[in-house]
Homo-oligomer: A and B are copies of this chain.
């Protein structure tokens, strides 16, 4: 059986899946990235995971497995044409010839691209965006990033550097961002941003059920899921925080829609697990700020797959590239 390997490389974990040519994930494994061990160790881990997944699935299914090609989504700025990981801050990579090294090691065609681009590609082609040709996807997680499918093809921009929606500076925000700017969207509206805002507010004595769940000594354990839990208990602070974050996302999207005219916006990443708690204020703000012509046609949904969209997207990206089709 012919399959494509799809690999999603994050700062914390690497997920590797085998995907059939229809986009169905047949088998998947997950390992810690251990970026601190350096780029060579991470590349070797990626290669070993692809082999391990192939052997594991062959044994489990009792069928012969042939991996046709591998697609790998990498964080940061990636040059898919040259096969080079230009810059990935959370991995500490700079100008790493990832394709050349992995192809030599695996004896397989290997294709790389930015992880948000492969994730949104997976969602746009096989997930929530199936049937749509103009899709804007954003991932709300540790940070916020975006990618676009335009007329069925991935959008890149100059030096493949499109997609940093998380780093637009929003009026009313002022927290410093690790990027060097102040008030970036992701300082507040990412999953990590919301958690950081909540911790700050709780330390300042904000009244919230979260104070009893997370006394000072346990405050570091607070996660985005806890905010949703507090929201569902009717906690006014959690509700207000998520409404603000949703409204900020909606406002940022209202800047994007008139410029690029998507038919569908997909909200993915861990933050999408907040569902309507974020989506409702997001849509309210977005729809109140765009021309009726956009308002009438634009749909906003959460991602269909979460972890698997990156794997599916990377694998199907590799399939398209391998058969010589554009992505």
Which residues of A are interface residues toward B (Cβ below 8 A)?
A: 77, 87, 133-134, 146, 148, 150-151, 155-169, 171-172, 179-181, 252, 254-256, 258-263, 289-294, 297
In the complex, what distance in Å separates the CA atom of A262 from the CA atom of B164?
12
Partner of A258 from the list B133, B159, B163, B297 (CB cut-off 8 Å) is B163
CB–CB A179/B291 < 8 A: yes
Partner of A157 from the list B158, B255, B261 (CB cut-off 8 Å) is B261
For A298, give the chain B residue with the smallest CB separation. B158
Q: How far is the CB of A137 from chain B (nearest CB, A)?
A: 12
CB–CB A258/B165 < 8 A: yes
Copies in the complex: 2
CB–CB A155/B291 < 8 A: no
Provide the residues of chain B in CB contact with A148, threshold 8 Å.
259-260
16 contacts between A and B (CB under 8 A): A134-B158, A150-B157, A155-B260, A157-B261, A157-B262, A158-B261, A158-B262, A158-B263, A160-B261, A161-B261, A162-B259, A162-B261, A164-B259, A167-B291, A169-B254, A259-B260
Provide the residues of chain B in CB contact with A181, threshold 8 Å.
289-291
Q: How far is the CB of A30 from chain B (nearest CB, A)?
A: 30
CB–CB A297/B159 < 8 A: yes
Provide the residues of chain B in CB contact with A261, threshold 8 Å.
156-163
CB–CB B164/A258 < 8 A: yes
Q: How far is the CB of A164 from chain B (nearest CB, A)?
A: 4
Provide the residues of chain B in CB contact with A134, threshold 8 Å.
157-158
Most buried by B among A156, A158, A166: A158
Provide the residues of chain B in CB contact with A297, threshold 8 Å.
158-159
CB–CB B255/A255 < 8 A: yes
Return the 6 tightest CB-CB contacts between A and B, nearest first. A157-B261, A164-B258, A171-B171, A255-B255, A158-B263, A162-B261
In the complex, what distance in Å separates the CA atom of A256 from the CA atom of B253?
11
Provide the residues of chain B in CB contact with A259, threshold 8 Å.
146, 148, 162-165, 168, 255-256, 259-260
CB–CB B77/A293 < 8 A: yes
In the complex, what distance in Å separates the CA atom of A289 from the CA atom of B180?
10
Provide the residues of chain B in CB contact with A159, threshold 8 Å.
261, 263, 297
Most buried by B among A163, A292, A293: A293
For A256, give the chain B residue with the smallest CB separation. B259
Provide the residues of chain B in CB contact with A263, threshold 8 Å.
158-159
In the complex, what distance in Å separates the CA atom of A260 from the CA atom of B254?
15
In the complex, what distance in Å separates the CA atom of A260 from the CA atom of B294?
19
Most buried by B among A150, A151, A163, A292: A150
Most buried by B among A87, A180, A291: A291
Partner of A168 from the list B133, B254, B293 (CB cut-off 8 Å) is B254
Q: How far is the CB of A219 from chain B (nearest CB, A)?
A: 31
Most buried by B among A133, A155, A259: A259
Q: How far is the CB of A289 from chain B (nearest CB, A)?
A: 5
In the complex, what distance in Å separates the CA atom of A208 from the CA atom of B255?
34
Provide the residues of chain B in CB contact with A169, threshold 8 Å.
254, 289
